[in-house]
A and B are shown apart, each in its own frame.
Chain A
Amino acid sequence: MNDLVKMPPFFVANKGERSAKVGLILSTAPERCVVRFTGGCGHMSAADASGLYELFVEAFVQADFKGAILYGGTRMLRRDNPKIVVPGITEIPPLIANRSKQVVSMGIVPRTSDLSFNEFGLIVSSEPGNDFFTIVHPLQKEFLIVQSSVDVPANWDTEWQECVTIIESLRTYSKWQSVLICYNGGEVTERELLATAELGWPVMLVSGSGRTTDKYAQDEYFLAQHPSVLVVDKEVTAIRDGLIKLSGSIPRWMELRGTSDQNEKEKYVQ
């Protein structure tokens, strides 16, 4: 029975439903900023995935981030050897939460097929043609699984659409800031990026991360039309500074530097 108590709770919602519980859980983060991670998963190249985890974990730790994180909440395992984890953006939030204990993370999992269990966990996707299958992330504590209905599965866009809904509630009714971080990614990432930029919410594009993110990071017309979009280099201090600037949250170490660094603070937070 004790093992059952330790199992991570998860909530199930039909598309379009708004959950009070999810918003309230996120609200327990000490800082009113929610970061949404989107981007490369199964189709990211090995080169684009190289150093990915250290890059973000170190940037978030240096930024002293104490807000909430929304992400896909899944892990990909190799079909030929399920003990091998396929690198992806969804590996980052559990690592950040592990280093920064006050961070509150929530996995938003679209139910794209019937759920099933095997010895590796709860399988949310096992598409023919992919050399990996996807399970709910074993290190994630809380999930929201979103479906269209019992009989009708959701698609992968449901994840970001649900996140937009949650973030909109936090921004409108609880005075939160939000940051969408894009790294690599394909068509679904592109639709999320464009929808978020269109709303005028802060977006951070990591230049050099590949595919969709690079396409828009290099699109001067797009950037000129969307001033809430910030392009940062693929390195720790750039991501850290971008996070500080977009979240509007000054880390403690910067506060401790004293009044002489007021100009530096203003450089970060606008």
Chain B
Amino acid sequence: MNSTAVTPMTVLQHPYRVTAPGGKLHLLIMNASDGLPAAFALMGTNARDKIAVRISGGCKGMNAEDKAEMLDYFAHAFDGYGGVVWSGATRQFKEEAVDPMVTDVPGVIAAFNPGCVALGTLPRVDLLSLQGDSRLVLDQYGTGPNPSMSGILIVQNGPDGKLDWDGDLNAAFGIMENWRQYANFQKLGFIGWNGGPITYNEVVRSAKLGYLTTVVQGSGRAADEIASAIQTGNSTLGGKILEGSINVVPRENPQQLRDLLIANGFLRQ
């Protein structure tokens, strides 16, 4: 990392503050049936390098220490990264502090790496509401948009419809494909950490598309199940076929993920 004084957790010390570059987070809203928004796609081209990695998953079963380690893990693995890093775009809170999730990882990586652009997508699962001191809230649990990202694409099912939590994935994968096909993005990657059925589907989908697809073994749930299936030679999991190439890296050693990224041209040595 570029700074010894700042740690990944200190990046998250102000839960509601916009820490995106320039102190501004663009929110774009699209209907699921719309074409992909040019504005959001163009934000990705602000990255120094034409590469993109999407990180997906969850933190179920992880305690506070695990979550802090997760941030350290990715900060180490992505040191020097200059592409787009993106994920779901929510932020969770606990007692007026950030409850770190995978969705905080892109902002942490971008905070340490000039030239890196953090973006996010989320489905509108409930009516958006302003609460308290005009804080934007996404659902009944107080989930907010993640203010560490330069841009968030909110996908909705019309003005008064609702989507499930995977309602943004077609848009997310569509934008990845647009970057590759029209903007000369040379490398696309996907990393699964923990997570449930949605993460599982994303892993399968990204491997099928030929992205550098990786699961972190030891992070829990879907990522562990996929890692085990691969290591035991199973090509199916829960009735679904694991297609394409999926890499497994251990949670204990972020250097292995880093080496994988370097070997595949996502990072310079």
Residues on A close to B: CB < 8 A? 17-25, 27-28, 166, 169-170, 172-175
**CB pair A170 B42 closer than 8 Å:** yes
**CB pair A169 B38 closer than 8 Å:** yes
Q: Does B190 sit within 8 A of A, measured CB to CB?
A: no
**Could you tell me the distance between the alpha carbons of A131 and B178 in the complex, rounded to whole angstroms?**
42
Q: Secondary structure at chain B's binding surface: helix, strand, loop or mixed?
A: helix
Residues on B close to A: CB < 8 A? 26, 35-43, 45-46, 151, 175, 178-179, 181-184
**CB pair A175 B46 closer than 8 Å:** yes
**CB pair A27 B45 closer than 8 Å:** yes
User: Can you list 7 A-B contacts (CB < 8 A)?
Assistant: A18-B35, A24-B45, A25-B182, A25-B183, A28-B183, A170-B42, A175-B46
**CB pair B37 A24 closer than 8 Å:** no
B40, B45, B46 — which one has the most chain A CB atoms within 10 A of its CB? B45
**CB pair A24 B43 closer than 8 Å:** no
Chain A residues within an 8 Å CB radius of B26:
173
Specify which of B37, B42, B178 is in contact with A174 (CB 8 Å cutoff). B42
The 10 closest A-B pairs by CB, nearest first: A24-B183, A24-B182, A20-B41, A27-B45, A174-B42, A173-B42, A18-B38, A20-B38, A20-B36, A23-B38
Min CB distance B47 to A, Å, is 10
Chain B residues within an 8 Å CB radius of A19:
35, 38
**Could you tell me the distance between the alpha carbons of A22 and B37 in the complex, rounded to whole angstroms?**
11
Q: Secondary structure at chain A's binding surface: helix, strand, loop or mixed?
A: helix
Specify which of A17, A20, A28, A175 is in contact with B178 (CB 8 Å cutoff). A20
**CB pair A22 B38 closer than 8 Å:** yes
**CB pair A24 B46 closer than 8 Å:** no
Known: A173-B26, A174-B45, A174-B46. Is A27-B183 also a contact (CB below 8 A)?
yes
Min CB distance A208 to B, Å, is 37
Question: Please, which residue of chain B has its CB at the minimum distance from the CB of A169?
Answer: B38
**Could you tell me the distance between the alpha carbons of A17 and B38 in the complex, rounded to whole angstroms?**
10
A18, A27, A172 — which one has the most chain B CB atoms within 10 A of its CB? A27
